[in-house]
Amino acid sequence: MQTRKGQSIEDASMRMIDEEIGIHQYNEKEWPIVRRIIHSTADFDFARENKVIFHNEAIKSGINALKNGCSIVVDVNGVIGGLNKQNPKDFQNKIICNISNPEIMEIAKKENKTRSQISMRVALSDIDGGIVVIGNAPTALMEVIQMVKEGIVKPALIIGIPVGFIWAAESKEELSKLEIPFITNKGRKGGSSSASAIINALYKILREELSSWITNAVFHKNFCIIRAIKIEMSIWC
């Protein structure tokens, strides 16, 4: 949780980003996610040359999955380090990162693949119906794309924003061709902090939607009570 001072600094940063970016192409649900990435990287290219791209169902599918307690499979521990830890606790989302498992290394050697590829394969059951978050390893993203094409997994959302030179841009381009909900970006830029920012932003949207629903529900309940009282009073009168 943020302190009051910390929140005021964050709010000021967000206002500064809004002022500097000016007119942009994103809608009211997409922009808070892009802005969160810019906030975590100080890089406005994520709304310009290396712009973030959303599948039409990405935000809705991701939020519903989080709300229903889905697993979140990440490629590296750096993604976990950037997450607000209270969010997965509150919504009972299991965070999975297999990259440091010694068995992964042995399998990767035998199959002549990267650890990132194998770490995705062994998380198959959690990826199916879950959220995949890749901020570092293009080979992990390519492996998930292949698993989707094989028909063995259907993630609720793939966040594919790996950074690098080899297969980074290409893997994102392949992701954008899928019918599966995704969030990605153009070019080589990306990284763990960007990937974490997207998840944190989705949780924030989810909390705001739940808060709005509760407020509306309370208002509706109170309205019904008042209406019932008025009807009863009119009868007695």
pLDDT in tens, 23-52: 999 999 999 999 999 999 999 999 999 999
Given CA atoms 135, 137, 140, 146 in this order, what sign does their dihedral have? positive
Q: Is 39 a catalytic residue?
A: yes
- The H or E element that residue 158 is part of is strand 157-160
Q: Which of 24, 39, 55, 220 is catalytic?
A: 39
- The pLDDT of residue 213 is 72
Q: Residue 114, Cβ neighbours under 10 Å: how many?
A: 18
Look up residue 160 and give its DSSP letter: E
Domains and CATH numbers, the chain: 53-209 (3.40.50.10230)
Work out whether strand 182-185 and strand 52-54 pair parallel, antiparallel, or are unpaired.
antiparallel
Nearest 5°: phi and psi at 72? -120, 115
- CA gap 189, 161 in Å, rounded: 8
Burial of 52 (0-12, 13-18, 19+ CB in 10 A): buried
Question: Could you tell me how far CA 43 lies from the centroid of its own chain?
Answer: 18
Please determine, for residue 129, whether its predicted confidence score (pLDDT) is greater than 90.
yes
* Token digits of residue 68: 């229903």
From CA 43, how far away is CA 139, in angstroms rounded? 24
Q: What are phi and psi of 52, to 5 degrees?
A: -80, 140
User: Rounded mean pLDDT of 154-177?
Assistant: 97
Which residues have CB under 8 Å from 171's CB, separation 6+? 138, 139, 141, 142, 145, 160, 162
Contact, 205 vs 54, CB < 8 A? no
H-only helix segments in the chain: 4-21, 30-41, 58-67, 77-81, 86-91, 102-111, 115-121, 124-127, 138-150, 168-175, 192-236
DSSP state of 176: T
The percent of residues above 90 in pLDDT, for the chain, comes to 84
Confidence of residue 7 (pLDDT cuts 50, 70, 90): confident
Question: Mean pLDDT for the chain?
Answer: 91
pLDDT exceeds 60 at position 221: no
**Using one digit for the tens of pLDDT, what is the confidence trace for 74-117?**
999 999 999 999 999 999 999 999 999 999 999 999 999 999 99
State yes or no: pLDDT of 200 exceeds 90: yes
Alpha-carbon distance of 66 to 88, in angstroms, equals 8
- Report d(CA 152, CA 163) in Å as an integer: 26
